[in-house]
Amino acid sequence: MKTIAIIGAMDEEVALIAKSLDDVEHNKTASLDINVGTLATKSGERIRVAATVGGMGLVNAAATTQCLIDGYQPDAVIFSGIAGSLNKSLHINDVVLGGTLRYLDSDMRLIAQWKPEAEEFHSDRHLLDVAGQALDDMGIKHIVGTIASGNYFVDSPQKVAEVAETTHADAVEMEGAAVAHVAGRNDVPALVIRALSDNADTDYEEFKEFDISEYADTAARLAVDIVTRL
C-alpha cells in the first residue's frame, strides 16, 4: 500500500482531511499529532495517509517533514498552506504550485554542497500535473510558479520589492522550500501548494485576525482529491 504524507497549515485543515479517512488513528510523535488512516483512490486501490500540522517557520517545517519520512516512509509528501502574492496577475485565493522553491535568506553555495546538492528545489512533475488537474476540476485559478521561503514575515512594500527582486518569486511564505529541501535529501517526491491570502503587504497583527476557515475547507478538499488521483 502506498503512503502519502500531508503537512497542513492549520488544525482545521488537517481535521477535515482526517474526516475523509477510514480507520483513523492518532499518533503523538515529536510534539506532532499525526492522523493516520486510509483513503480509496479513484482506481479502487487504497492509500495510507499520514496528515499533521507542521508549524510555522523553516525549522518546524523541516523537522515535521523528516519526522513523517522517518516514521511512515511515504511515497510522496504534500504540503499545503497560504502565502503572500508577489505576482500582480494573481489574486486572493488563487493558487501557486511550487514548481521552483527558493530560500530568501540563505547562501545556497554553501548549503548545496550537501545532498540534494541544489541551490533551489522543485515539486515533483507528476504531482504538479495531478494537482493541476484537481484545481482545474475545482475551478480554481492556478499557476506553476516560484515560491520563496524565509524565516521572516513579509509585510511592507520595501520587503515585497526586495523579495521580488532577489527571488523573482510569485509567492512568499515561511516553509515550502524547507519541505522540498528535506524531501529531496531523502529522495521523496514532494508537492508544495500555496493559496494566496494577501499581497504580502499585511501587518502580522492584522494577518492573525484573518478568517481562513474557507481556505482550510478548500485546502483539505484539494489534498484529498489529489491523493485519490494517485
Please confirm, yes or no, whether 198 is among the known catalytic residues. Answer: yes
Catalytic residue among 33, 75, 120, 198: 198
Alpha-carbon gap, residue 164 to 47, rounded angstroms = 39
Residues 224, 7 contacting (CB under 8 angstroms)? no
Bridge partner residues of 224 (DSSP): none
The set of cell numbers assigned to 117 is 546538492
CB 81 within 8 A of CB 8: yes
Instruction: Return phi, psi of residue 119, to 5°.
Output: -95, -10
- Selecting among 13, 124, 155, 173, the annotated active-site residue is 13
Angle between helices 125-138 and 213-228 (to 10 degrees): 120
Tell whether the torsion through CA atoms of 90, 178, 187 and 11 is positive or negative. Answer: negative
Active site amino acids: 13, 198
